[in-house]
Amino acid sequence: MASGARSEIMVFDQRTFEEREYWLKKLSDLPGPSLLRSDFAEPRGAIRDEGVLKSQLGGKSYQRLMKLTGAKPFLIYTTYQAVSKVM
């Protein structure tokens, strides 16, 4: 092998690739509404505690995240959360 040349190693075999594709497909869609009825009525004037947590990624990190997740909302969220936890 010439100096500076990189050897390539196959990380995934066919089964691993198929499993990866299965889970990407299974987890990539957003779940629909549950359509379950509530056990009790929400009090009048109740304030829902909804909010948005904003976090900014640099351009290169954002592009890598989008490429890794295929821009699927659930995968973006879970990948970002996992990376945030590790870091």
Asked if residue 47 is part of any domain, the answer here is: no
Question: Residues 41-84: pLDDT tens digits?
Answer: 777 776 666 666 677 788 898 899 999 999 888 898 899 889 88
Domain total in the chain:
1
Asked if residue 28 is part of any domain, the answer here is: no
Q: What residues make up the domain containing 69?
A: 56-87
Asked if residue 70 is part of any domain, the answer here is: yes
Question: Residues 5-46: pLDDT tens digits?
Answer: 666 666 667 888 888 888 888 877 766 777 777 787 777 776
- 20, 12 contact by CB (below 8 A): yes
Asked if residue 17 is part of any domain, the answer here is: no
- 74, 29 contact by CB (below 8 A): yes
